[in-house]
Amino acid sequence: MKKLFFVISMMLMSVSTFAQQGTCVAGAHASFLLENNKNIGIGALVGYEVIDNLRGVAEFDYYLKKDYVSGWEADLNAEYLFKLADGRFTIYPLVGVNVFGQKVEILGVSETDSKVGLNIGGGIEFKLMPSLALKCEYNYKTQYDGASFLKAGVVIPF
C-alpha cells in the first residue's frame, strides 16, 4: 500500500511540475452570430497550455442589443494546437461546454433565459511577433436549436 501511495504521489508531482511549463495567453475579440438576428458582440479570453499542444481556454462574450435581444456567453474549451511554419501559424480544433444567456426587452418588459450546451469548432492563429498574434475562430453551439459564431481578435502570449 505504501508503494502504491508513493507511485501515485510521484505521478501527481510530475504532472503538476510539467504543467507549470505551459504558456499563458490573454486576448480580446469581436464575435459575430452568423444566424438568427446576426448580432455582434465583444469578448475576452484567457488560456493556459496545460501540456504540449493542449490548451484550456475560458472566454466571455457580451452580445449587443439588436431587435430587442441582447445576450452573453461563457465558454470553457480545450484546444489541440498544431503549430506550423516554426510556430508562426497555429491551427486547432476545439471542444467545450458553454452557457448562453439571452435577454428580450420590449416596451420596458424583459425576460431572460440561459441554457448550458456544447461547443465544437476550430481556429487559426497567426503570430505577428513573439508577443502578439491574430486569431480567427469558428464555433458551433448546441443551445437554442444550434447557432454558428465567428470570432476575430488578438492574442497576447506571456
**Helix ranges, the chain (H):** 2-19
Task: Give dist(CA 101, CA 124) in Å, integer.
Answer: 27
Angle at the Cα of 39 (from 137 to 104), degrees rounded to 5? 130
- Written as tens digits, the pLDDT of the chain (158 aa) is 455 445 445 554 544 434 345 789 999 999 998 887 788 999 999 999 999 999 999 999 999 988 888 899 999 999 999 999 888 999 999 999 999 998 999 988 989 999 999 999 999 999 999 999 999 999 999 988 888 999 999 999 98
Burial class (CB in 10 A: 0-12, 13-18, 19+), 149: buried
Q: What is the pTM of this model?
A: 0.79
Q: What residue type is assigned to position 102 of the chain?
A: Q
List Cα–Cα distances, 20 to 8, 16, 27, 55, 112, in angstroms: 19, 6, 20, 13, 40
